[in-house]
Structure 1
């Protein structure tokens, strides 16, 4: 559809196809595109009502009275600041040599640990079961004692996979003979205690029990694998770009011309009527 025809006239303003498409693209991070393409006529009816009401508000000067003028001012400045920051970050370029140098200096950050795991669940406050044959959950003390025994067996040479099948309470990893998703140093989805325990190991070593809510984790490190430069090139670009952007932001904050004059008001914690 190459013709740029007028699609609708709202309050005397002509809206061409290109105008509407640009408007909808500008709102792509909202539900507006779905509403528009789902029912264009219905959307334009609602849009026309909004435009008409906004025009009436301006005619009555509502955009220039309290509290509306302050909210409009704040929202306008906030939006302009956000789009300026996005544009500024996109201007920060990172050269290929800089990416390579960063990779060489931070190789450890791109290592991945392949591990196997045994999970021993516990519950110190279990609910009473109506089934007399139901398996009673371990207490934390019982799980800790069992964990120490399992670790001793694993470090003594017992096949870790066999220990997984005999003792682990984690169905997903147990079905894979203890295999666990690879662990990376910068993975914020995992607790620090787990990452610290894993990256302190050498291949073949078994960790101490790592206590988390509801259970103990025992890890065996299979191997460390370092991602190649090509695998992480894009991540490095974004990392350096973000670091430089933050440096620019810190400098911008320090250079702001802000002069506090009324300490009494600034230190008062409640609104002043």
Structure 2
């Protein structure tokens, strides 16, 4: 018989704290069944004296070492949790990271050339420049977007011009600086991309308040502090292989049966696996039909 206390001790040992309250009942039931089967097998193994086998003893030692390494992993993560003062300092020291622009975007698609219908790039660019000039003159972006898709095979595919808020890192690197430098109501230059031409209009600009980004900063600082702690720890004891025994060092594939080795103990703890993992779908035996060429889609919103 397994008592409630024993079972909860098991859960506390294998499930991260942040995930314990989220565990569904069927997952607990599955763990209980697996624990019961495990104890039956352990009892049978002890009756056969298998714990005295040198190979078994070595595996038990490896599992102990792995458990200790994983415990240290969790402890280092907990210790890496930043203070409010650290979060506030990061926010004040990195003002540009929290600049946000609200944009509209006009996307002018390029036609797809074919043997029967070649594309005149010069004419296409001239048409895009005319739409850009209308945008600079203050014409409505929604109206211009519809005009850009009048000759498209699917006029209804015209994308929404509203992009919402974008922070640094959320726009193409070669365009970002100029877009953030726009004044309210300003229109960007005409950008030539593989799929089409793009024009941006700056609707507004703000600094994201600390209250909205505190959790994001906390995660970023925690990950960096955790990484620094692991680098300092592993760097304090460099590992050198005996080339006379191991041969010239090279990349090594994962070996079967080594799953319990503490090879990745420096990773952040992960969510425990689901109680029931569905089997992967069987590979289809149907032949794959070649896809017909379609116009490139507009850039993601």
1:87 matched to which residue of 2?
75
Alignment partners' CA distance in 2, 1:257 and 1:86: 22
Which residue of structure 2 lines up, in the alignment, with residue 108 of structure 1?
96
Aligned mates of 2:82, 2:213 — CA distance in 1: 14
Matches within 5 A, 1:99-248: 99-122=87-110, 124=112, 144-167=125-148, 173-174=159-160, 178-187=161-170, 191-193=172-174, 195-196=176-177, 198-210=179-191, 214-248=195-229
Matched with 1:133 is none
- Residue 88 of structure 1 deviates from its aligned partner by 1.4
Contact 2:146 2:158 in 1 (8 A): no
| Partner secondary structure for residue 220 of structure 1 | strand
Query: 1:20 — aligned with what?
Result: 7
SS of 2:188's equivalent? Answer: coil
Structure number with the bigger relative contact order (C-alpha 8 A, sep ≥ 6) is 2
Give yes or no for contact 1:124–1:139 (8 Å, CA) kept in 2.
no
Pairing 1:27-46 to 2, within 5 Å after superposition: 27=15, 33-37=24-28, 40=29, 44-46=32-34
1:84 to partner: Cα distance = 1.5
CA distance in 2, matches of 1:212, 1:76: 56
Structure 1 residues 44 and 267, CA gap change in structure 2 (3 angstroms): closer
C-alpha distance in structure 2 between counterparts of 1:85 and 1:204, whole Å: 50
After TM superposition, the score normalised by the length of structure 1 is 0.65
Aligned partners of 2:167, 2:135: CA distance in 1, in Å? 24
1:243-272 Cα deviation digits (max 9, x unpaired): 33333233223211423331771336789x
How large is the RMSD of aligned CA atoms in angstroms? 4.3
Aligned residues: 241
Q: Compared with structure 1, are the counterparts of its residues 201 and 64 closer, same or farther at alpha carbon in structure 2 (3 Å cutoff)? A: farther
Aligned mates of 1:74, 1:142 — CA distance in 2: 70
Checking the alignment, whether the CA contact within 8 Å between 2:100 and 2:166 is kept in structure 1 is: yes
On the 8 A contact 1:116/1:180 being kept in 2, the answer is yes
Q: Which runs of 5+ in 1 are unaligned?
A: 1-8, 10-14, 129-135
- When the two structures are superposed, what TM-score results if normalisation uses the length of structure 2? 0.60
Aligned CA distance change for structure 1 residues 257 and 149 (closer, same or farther; 3 Å): same
Secondary structure at 1:182 match in 2: strand
Query: Of residues 50, 55, 58 in structure 2, which corresponds to 1:60?
Result: 50
3-state SS in 2 of match to 1:233: helix
SS of equivalent residue, structure 1 residue 20 = helix
Rounded to whole Å, the distance in 2 between the matches of 1:262 and 1:186 is 45
Q: Which structure is higher in helix share?
A: 1
Verify the 8 A CA contact 1:124 1:140 in the aligned structure 2. Answer: no
Higher deviation after alignment, 146-155 or 106-115: 146-155
What do residues 155-192 of structure 1 show as CA deviations (whole Å, max 9, x unaligned)? 23333332133326785853xxx2113111244xx654
Q: Are the structure 2 counterparts of residues 47 and 93 from structure 1 closer, same or farther at C-alpha, using a change threshold of 3 Å? A: closer
Question: Which of residues 230, 234, 247 is equivalent to 1:265?
Answer: 247
TM-aligned CA distance change 1:173 to 1:266, over 3 Å:
same
